Homo-oligomer: A and B are copies of this chain.
Amino acid sequence: MNEERKATITDVARRAGVSTATAGRVLGGYGYSSTEMKTRVQDAATALGYSPNLLARSLITGLTRTIGFVAGDIQSPFYAKILRGISDAADEAGFALLITNSDETIEREVDAIRLLREKQVDGMIVSPCDTQRSPHLRDAAAATPLVLIDRQVRGLDVDSIGVDNVEAVQTGIARLIERGHRRIGMVAELQSTRPDELATFVSGICADPATDVSTLYPSWQRLAGFVRAHTAAGVPVDLSLIAQVGDYSMEEAERQARAMLARSDRPSALFTADGLMTEGTMHAITACGLRIPDDLSLVGFDELDWMAFVSPGIDAIAQPRRLMGQRATQMLIERMDQADLAPRKLTLAARQILRGSVRTVTPTG
């Protein structure tokens, strides 16, 4: 490529016949400089094709004007939309964006965060994969502005943003119950460590609607909304209608949805707890040859492109993903020069989108 060394501020200064300090002031846009100097330096800079080295600047200022984003999997619509929001807000504020994906594994997340810190980012936005214990996030937060997105970490009191999953799902399920549905299935990730966790959780949440669910995984929060809607309406929850997919896998979601739909006492409606679960379930529904909404009603968490043009359209609980990314970025940037500000927990509202995938049923009795 270009063999000759890139022009530095020293080269520009020499050519303009001024000190590097003056050249720096003109080109860096700080301090004082006379109009004469401005033109002389600028002319020299263009003549040499000068381009600043932001590494050097960052090294001395201690600011990189770069933020980092640790996503689960950027190719998923969920993270892609958030990323777009982050990118927009970062761009507008003059920040560059460094991204990494964790694939929801703690090892990759730890590596990603180490990298971002070593790259001296001014702040980072993380969608943490362990919400119960994350010492690396605690360390990071002590040194760098940090905003959590979609999930919160227990005992980590930092800025965060997400939607009210419990409320959003409770509203959505309440509508299904209103429309006469009594056997509602749920397909969700609901990863767990103990085998009895699901049963314990369901009865625990039923017993005490005041439980703090803020640091639960979104799918568990959504389950809480699901259960509370039942409880509020006096409809019993059939645990066997809750497909605990376990992995975050479309194939497994399809398998479990298929099993549920093959039952003689299959549910009249299904709620899917996120985009991937919805897609897996759609595969199952197609495979079983069921028609929506005649054979089965469906409500999915997260809005997906195709929901609007399949017929009938699919009802969705839509969270404002792009906005979440934007707000997260704005919070992060505000945090940078206000380290003492009390941590803010921002909760955005989800939107219920009705398109006709839910039919009214007359309860059999």
Interface residues of A in 81-102 (CB under 8 A from B): 81, 83-84, 87, 91, 96-101
* A310 CB, min distance to chain B CBs, angstroms: 5
A119 at the interface (CB under 8 A from B): yes
A322 at the interface (CB under 8 A from B): yes
A311 at the interface (CB under 8 A from B): yes
A331 to B282 CA separation, bound complex (whole angstroms): 38
Contact A2 B51 (CB under 8 A): no
CB contacts (< 8 Å) of A145 on chain B: these are 1
* A192 CB, min distance to chain B CBs, angstroms: 27
CB contacts (< 8 Å) of A305 on chain B: these are 279, 304, 306
A119 to B114 CA separation, bound complex (whole angstroms): 19
Integer count of this chain's copies in the complex? 2
Contact B87 A101 (CB under 8 A): yes
A20 at the interface (CB under 8 A from B): no
CB contacts (< 8 Å) of A119 on chain B: these are 54-55, 66, 96
Contact B286 A310 (CB under 8 A): yes
A309 at the interface (CB under 8 A from B): yes
Give 17 pairs: A residue, B residue, CB < 8 Å, sorted on A: A1-B141, A1-B339, A51-B114, A53-B118, A54-B119, A54-B120, A55-B55, A74-B83, A87-B99, A87-B100, A97-B99, A98-B98, A279-B306, A283-B308, A286-B310, A304-B305, A305-B306
Other CB < 8 Å A-B pairs besides A74-B83, A279-B309, A305-B306, 7 of them?
Answer: A1-B144, A51-B117, A74-B74, A74-B80, A75-B83, A87-B99, A98-B98
Where the two chains meet, the residues of A that have a C-beta atom closer than 8 Å to any C-beta of B are 1-2, 6, 51-56, 58-59, 64, 66, 73-77, 80-81, 83-84, 87, 91, 96-101, 114-115, 117-120, 141-145, 279, 282-283, 285-286, 304-306, 308-311, 322, 339
